[in-house]
Amino acid sequence: MFPLSSTTDSTTEVPRDEVRETEIARISAALGDAVVDSLVKPHDDMWIRVTADSWLRTAETLKSLGYNYFCFVSAIDWMPSPFGKGEDDPTEPAPERDMSIKQGYTGGATRFQVLARLTQPHTSLGINIKADVDDATMSIQSWTSVFAGANWHERETWEMFGIVFAGHPDLRKMYLPTDFEGYPLRKDFPLLARIVKPWPGIVDVEPMPGDDEQEEGGAS
């Protein structure tokens, strides 16, 4: 009655979303060669990826196109965590992990990407904006001159990912002590709670529902 459609490719069945397609065409025309890639998921959402140099210009342009509601600015660290889910047994050598970077929608070339969202209040259309952050400089322009609300979001992103927002008036830590070292939301920053006390699931293994015949040997 309520089938799982995730296994089948349903893109052919979904009717075209003309509103979002015209919108993304309008945005791409206004931004010109700043747009690297764009994506429309019909009746769902829009994504664009812009070049790092045009990060500030993107905000200005989108604001003039009616996207004047500031939703958030954040970042994504695309590197897979070297600690996995923090469920490794500390007495055994760390398992091999696939550390290749798999980028999400609209692709990307760097480990860090900034992610922001703006909304058009009168139509409720929102757009997710991404830009690659150069690994060497770890710096991108600040949006505070266009959206005053970006101030706190950029402080948080700087604190958590170490991405510097050039032109930010007051880049200070929000949550952590001033002398704290490291950037907690980076994937290579370990979740200390799982280091101090190993995950109890290592010794307390119950068979997963569904694979009764395959008993885990490690359970004691």
Partner 1 sequence: MTMIGDRQQLAYIAAQAADARVNVELETEGMTLNIGPQHPATHGTLRIIARLDGEQVIWAEPSAGYMHRGYEKLTEVRTYPQVTALINRIDWLGSFANEVPFILAAEKLMGVEAPPRAQHIRTILFELSRIANVSLFLGDLGVQMGAVTPVFFAFRDREYVLNLIEAATGGRFHPNFDRIGGLKDDLPAGFIDETRTVMKKLRNFCDEIEGLLFGNEIFQSRTRGIGVIPKDVALQYGLSGANLRASGVDWDLRRDQTIPMAWDKVDWKVWTHPDGDSFARCWVRLQEVRESTKIVDQLLDTIPSGPVMAKVPKIIKVPEGEAWVSTENPLGEMGYYVVSQGDQGPFRVKIRSASFNNISIVPWALKGVYVPDIITILASLYFILGDIDR
Question: Footprint of partner 1 on this chain (CB under 8 A)?
Answer: 1-6, 10, 43-45, 47, 68-72, 74, 76-77, 80-81, 85-87, 102, 104-105, 115, 117, 121-122, 124, 126, 128, 146-149, 151-153, 160, 174-176, 184-185, 191, 194, 208-210
Q: Take residue 183 and report the two structure tokens written for it.
A: 């950037």
Rounding to the nearest 10 degrees, give the CA dihedral for residues 203, 206, 98, 109.
-110
Residue whose CB is less far from partner 1, 90 or 121 = 121
Residue whose CB is less far from partner 1, 164 or 185 = 185
- As measured in angstroms, the least distance from the Cβ of 77 to partner 1 is 7
- As measured in angstroms, the least distance from the Cβ of 198 to partner 1 is 13
- As measured in angstroms, the least distance from the Cβ of 189 to partner 1 is 8
- As measured in angstroms, the least distance from the Cβ of 147 to partner 1 is 5
Give me the residues paired with residue 73 across strands: 116
Residue whose CB is less far from partner 1, 53 or 216 = 216
- As measured in angstroms, the least distance from the Cβ of 156 to partner 1 is 8
Residue whose CB is less far from partner 1, 13 or 33 = 13
Cα–Cα–Cα angle for 104, 199, 79, nearest 5°? 20
Distance of CA 64 to the CA centre of its chain: 25
Helical residues (DSSP H) of 65-191, grouped into ranges = 150-161
Distance of CA 48 to the CA centre of its chain: 13
Cα separation, 23 vs 31, whole angstroms: 12
Q: For 186-197, b where at least 16 C-beta lie within 10 A, e where not — what string?
A: beebeeeebeee
Residue whose CB is less far from partner 1, 4 or 29 = 4
Strand pairing category for 139-141 and 164-166? parallel
